[in-house]
Amino acid sequence: MASPSTTSPPPDVLEKLVSLCKRRGFIFQSSEIYGGTGSVWDYGPLGVELKKNIKDRWWNALVRARDDIEGLDAAILMHPRVWEASGHVAGFTDPLVDCRNCKKRFRADDPKIKGTPGTPDGQCPACGMKGTLSQPRLFNLMFKTFMGPVEDSAAVVYLRPETAQGIYVNFLNVQQSTRQRVPFGIAQIGKAFRNEITPGNFIFRTREFEQMEMQFFVDPAPPDQQKTPYRTDMEWFEYWKEQRMQWHRDLGLSESRLMFHQHTPEELAHYARAAFDIQFDFGGTLGFQEIEGVHHRGDFDLGRHQEFSGKKLEYFDQPANRRYVPLVIETSVGADRTTLAVLVNGYREEQVEGEQEGRTVLGLHPGLAPIKVGVFPLVKKDGMPEFAEKLAADLRAKFPVFYDESGAIGRRYRRQDEVGTPFCVTVDGETIKDSTVTVRDRDTLKQERIAADRVGEWVARRI
Ligand code: ATP
């Protein structure tokens, strides 16, 4: 695993990615024609496919491929008491300072602030004035709104700042309806909202984002003879740490850009028994940053919901005739932040031998690429477009395909390289004679001649 001190930082490609993503329809600024909304982004035709492929891989790995994790899709709006129980009403805050001169706001711990806010030497990082920064005050990051027609304090609800609480409050519903036995997990993918004071870095930190969270419930005092491969809570914690790191490797993220960060005693939540972040090196000044948290949350969440709701959230182990509140191992990853990691990891500019013009490539894992195959007729005549269109239609039944007959063939390849399409198929004069086509690999640039009716199987094997 990487050590940030021994590897030179990869280049900062964020600015180039923002422009590529807009130009090619991955990601657009929200409400752009009105000047944009602060740190909210819309996924275009290719971006929605990429993010969906990432979410599908997560869902398949955690829910579909296992018999000990169940899926859930809980609502965004929840009973306001949920957020009192979870600690978010009292504690989900960041310290905020305002500049009286330029009216800008900052997190009090922003490294760009010089001096001490609230004193004459505190200097505003935006307008440069001294003594204009307010004392830090706590700012709750939850978005508030009202349920029903009356806008008073009794009707306040929150947009959820994390998806996990929907899992805790449904713990017994899921367990009893599926008859799962501890240890087991509940997983869900959904939107979360945080009124971040300093969002930014494209889709790295936004105010509306998607999380993929899984809560795994384990026995606090498992009997010695328990037969599951892992027994104690700490064994399960280690298991999930490794599983989740492997999932990121399997997305194609480079080993040298991934590492664990163990929470220091200051970072560790008071109830947490252990916590590691999986970090990815975004390059440039951003460097290594959290993309996923793997946390041992003890019995804090179920315990608090028991206390605040007055309803028991105990698991009944029938064979052993024991009742207990399980411990929770949580894995929590951002779908948008992972999408950014995949884009950053894949972006490269390179020279091609024998060609003047360089190329930009998104070296996406073929399974994640929004388009799997580009299909081109070499020229727009002699039956080539008809053959190619028919081939594209046949392939489209299996994967997303892009048919392109405009411009020089080299340019068509470049356009697909830039959006990460792993394979391109070209129909030429020979195709018309013997029904063979050339298939080109995005990364090696190697071309092979194969029978047109074998293309589907050839591509399927590689994705
Ligand atoms: P950070 O320290 O970066 O604010 P966090 O520790 O608050 O993150 P968690 O509450 O553990 O984050 O959320 C789990 C995951 O959700 C993060 O690892 C990240 O991938 C994602 N996430 C959290 N906040 C945001 C955000 N504002 N925008 C995009 N993704 C986010």
Q: How many Å lie between the centroid of ligand 1 and the Cα of residue 119?
A: 32
Note the pLDDT of residue 84: 96
User: Which stretches of the chain drop beneath a pLDDT of 70?
Assistant: 1-8, 226-227
Q: Is 292 in the pocket of ligand 1 (CB under 6 A)?
A: yes
User: Kindly report the CA angle at 238 between 232 and 241, in degrees rounded to 5?
Assistant: 140
User: Which residues lie below 8 Å from residue 70, measured CB to CB, with a gap of 6+?
Assistant: 63, 174, 178, 180, 184, 185, 186, 187
Q: How many Å lie between the centroid of ligand 1 and the Cα of residue 207?
A: 10
What is the C-alpha separation between 387 and 381, in angstroms, rounded? 10
Q: How many Å lie between the centroid of ligand 1 and the Cα of residue 334?
A: 6
Q: Whose CA is nearest to atom 3 of ligand 1?
A: 290
User: Which residues lie below 8 Å from residue 326, measured CB to CB, with a gap of 6+?
Assistant: 182, 183, 217, 218, 219, 220, 299, 302, 315
105 forms beta bridges with 98
Q: How many Å lie between the centroid of ligand 1 and the Cα of residue 48?
A: 20
> In this structure, what are the phi and psi dihedrals at residue 106, rounded to the nearest 5 degrees?
-140, 160
Q: Is 51 in the pocket of ligand 1 (CB under 6 A)?
A: no
pTM (two decimals): 0.94
Three-state DSSP class for residue 457: helix
Q: How many Å lie between the centroid of ligand 1 and the Cα of residue 407?
A: 43
Q: Is 244 in the pocket of ligand 1 (CB under 6 A)?
A: no
Q: Is 209 in the pocket of ligand 1 (CB under 6 A)?
A: yes
Q: How many Å lie between the centroid of ligand 1 and the Cα of residue 107?
A: 16
Note the pLDDT of residue 355: 72
Q: How many Å lie between the centroid of ligand 1 and the Cα of residue 114?
A: 27
What is the C-alpha separation between 115 and 139, in angstroms, rounded? 21
Report whether 237 contacts 329 (CB < 8 A): yes
Q: How many Å lie between the centroid of ligand 1 and the Cα of residue 275?
A: 14
What is the C-alpha separation between 254 and 21, in angstroms, rounded? 21
Is residue 230 classed exposed, middle or buried when 0-12, 13-18 and 19+ CB atoms within 10 A define those classes?
middle
Q: Is 132 in the pocket of ligand 1 (CB under 6 A)?
A: no
State the sign of the Cα–Cα–Cα–Cα dihedral 347, 351, 355, 358.
positive
Q: Whose CA is nearest to atom 19 of ligand 1?
A: 334
Q: Which two tokens stand for residue 256?
A: 């040298």
- H helices within 135-292, ranges in order? 164-169, 171-178, 233-250
DSSP-assigned letter for residue 232:
S
Inter-CA distances, 159 with 66, 126, 163, Å:
31, 30, 10
> In this structure, what are the phi and psi dihedrals at residue 330, rounded to the nearest 5 degrees?
-110, 140
What is the C-alpha separation between 131 and 118, in angstroms, rounded? 7
Q: Whose CA is nearest to atom 23 of ligand 1?
A: 334
Q: Whose CA is nearest to atom 22 of ligand 1?
A: 334
Q: How many Å lie between the centroid of ligand 1 and the Cα of residue 271?
A: 19
Indicate which atom in ligand 1 lies nearest the CA of residue 196: 27
Note the pLDDT of residue 7: 56
Best of 39, 205, 263 for a ligand 1 pocket test (most atoms within 8 Å of beta carbon): 205
What is the C-alpha separation between 251 and 50, in angstroms, rounded? 12
Is residue 333 classed exposed, middle or buried when 0-12, 13-18 and 19+ CB atoms within 10 A define those classes?
buried
